[in-house]
Amino acid sequence: MTNLYQKIITAENIKEAYLEVYQSLLEDCKVFSYDVIDAQQIHQTELDLPAFLADIQKRLISAEKPRLARSVAIPKKNGKLRKIYMVPIRERVCCQAVYRVLQEHLKPTYSKYLYSFRSERPSYYALRSLRRFYLANVRGGKASAARPAYFLLKTDFKDYSDHINKNILLGQLAEMGVDAETLRLVRQFVEIPFVRAGDLQSMAYGTMQGLPLISLFNNIYTAEIDRQVGAQVEFYRRVGDDIIALDRDPAKLEWALELIRGECRRLKILLNEEKTELQPLEKQFDYLGLSFSAGQISIPAKKVAKMIADAKTLLPANSTASIEAKLRRLRKVLVINARGKSALWSNYIQSLNLLTDMAQLQELSRRLMTVVWAYLGGGYTGRKLAAGKKILADSKVGLWSFFLHFKRLLWPHQARSHQRRSLWQRLVG
């Protein structure tokens, strides 16, 4: 047995994997309602946890074939459906045990241009660095012969996880020093049979979304693109399947696009040609949920409409709950969700540091607060909105002071970092 495999099958690693799975299900409110083939729930394992963990270790050592997964469809942000796969509790803990060790082994191979599934380099950092570059080079002055204008290349992979070639992926892992025993475990998790609409099926190609290993696969599979393009252009970022590159020389971006196309052919994945753009940086473009146009950064209109619609769905004005219950729900839904993060307000709060369109932010703030007031007051009439406003002002939820202070701060240029932090503190109460 080699070092990676030995780490995977240790009792300590399996215990930590179990706790991570339990925590994840707890945060998603699925401790008692995880919809899998065998119907086993993770809370049931507490009855004889030592035996359960010993069985996990036995399964990993014997490389026992995983049981069936269930295929379900969940809505994406764009309204379409995404297929994910839910494996039984035992298989999920086994997979997490493999993931924990592989993640630490593969981290050093990631490029500095990769901003997905990395706690130290989240996608927000990619947007933040793009914002700095964009404002410096679009709003920073007119182009001239001595200072040529920038060009942009933006593209993504079509159904990325669904087209990853298993044999190529396993070959990449082997080249990265993953031993044969660990590769055998990984292969089992990329070849799990599943049930969809009552039929037993298997994936001829692609990897199962919903397993923690998928984040690792997505990061390493196109790493060669990151290394080559990132070293040649002035600005390059990849977040999952989304790529953006900026340079003064459009020929470099044309070369980069051809290299990406060649890598897609080699890796047997699809480039989304319909979403591929090669254009001057001054021209409008969207990236990771933000719109860049004429030196301004804003939230796309469709995203604003969805934020308001989501708020109205989660906080209905016709709710008959008591004021105390409404305030509890408000804090849970708008301020703190089960993961300890902002739910509806997450993009909004991040936008405070990223957007330059202050008029849009103020209008969005007003519209979201109107939804909150209508929820608490019981309707959108002037009297009921006033009642909701007073309820919120008298409460300790924290949103009221946030709203009062919002227009007093000059965003984003004059506000200091401590003011940004205090805004977040006001929001979470």
Angle between helices 250-267 and 223-232 (to 10 degrees): 170
* CA proximity to 77, closest of 306, 255, 300, 309: 306
| pLDDT surpasses 60 at 81 | yes
For residue 416, the model assigns a pLDDT of 43
| pLDDT surpasses 80 at 334 | no
Average pLDDT over residues 406-421: 43
Q: Which one has a higher pLDDT value, 419 or 300?
A: 300
pLDDT class of 342 with cuts at 50, 70, 90: very low
For residue 428, the model assigns a pLDDT of 38
Please give the angle made by the CA atoms of 154, 310 and 412, to the nearest 5 degrees: 55
The reply to whether omega before 412 is within 30° of 0 (cis) is yes
Highest mean pLDDT range out of 245-254, 351-360, 383-392?
245-254
DSSP 3-34: HHHHHHTSHHHHHHHHHHHHHHHHHTT-SS--
In a 13 Å sphere around the CA of 120, the CA atoms on its Cβ side amount to 6
Alpha-carbon distance of 291 to 355, in angstroms, equals 9
* CA proximity to 302, closest of 290, 313, 312: 290
Alpha-carbon distance of 421 to 209, in angstroms, equals 35
pLDDT tens sequence across 28-69? 666 555 655 556 677 677 778 889 899 999 999 988 887 766
For residue 112, the model assigns a pLDDT of 94
pLDDT tens sequence across 130-175? 999 999 988 655 555 556 789 999 999 998 988 999 999 999 999 9
| Other Cβ atoms within 10 Å of 235 Cβ, number | 19
pLDDT tens sequence across 251-300? 999 999 999 999 999 999 999 999 999 999 999 999 988 999 988 999 88
Residue type, 427: L
Instruction: Enumerate residues 6+ apart whose C-beta is below 8 A from 236.
Output: 113, 226, 229, 230, 243, 244, 245, 246
Sheet of 194-196: strand order equals: 81-86, 69-75, 194-196, 199-201
Give me the residue label for tokens 């906080």. 315
Average pLDDT over residues 235-251: 96
For residue 201, the model assigns a pLDDT of 65
Average pLDDT over residues 411-416: 40
Give strand pairing partners of 71: 85
| pLDDT surpasses 60 at 337 | no
| pLDDT surpasses 80 at 341 | no
Alpha-carbon distance of 299 to 250, in angstroms, equals 27
| Mean pLDDT rounded to a whole number for the chain | 81
| pLDDT surpasses 90 at 83 | no
For residue 206, the model assigns a pLDDT of 73
Please give the angle made by the CA atoms of 154, 353 and 244, to the nearest 5 degrees: 10
Pick the range with the lowest mean pLDDT from 1-5, 8-12, 239-243, 253-257: 1-5
Average pLDDT over residues 315-340: 76
Q: Which one has a higher pLDDT value, 339 or 255?
A: 255
pLDDT tens sequence across 96-143? 999 999 999 999 999 999 999 888 888 889 999 999 999 998 865 555
Residue 243's H or E segment, with its range, is strand 242-247
| pLDDT surpasses 70 at 226 | yes
* CA proximity to 101, closest of 32, 179, 29: 179
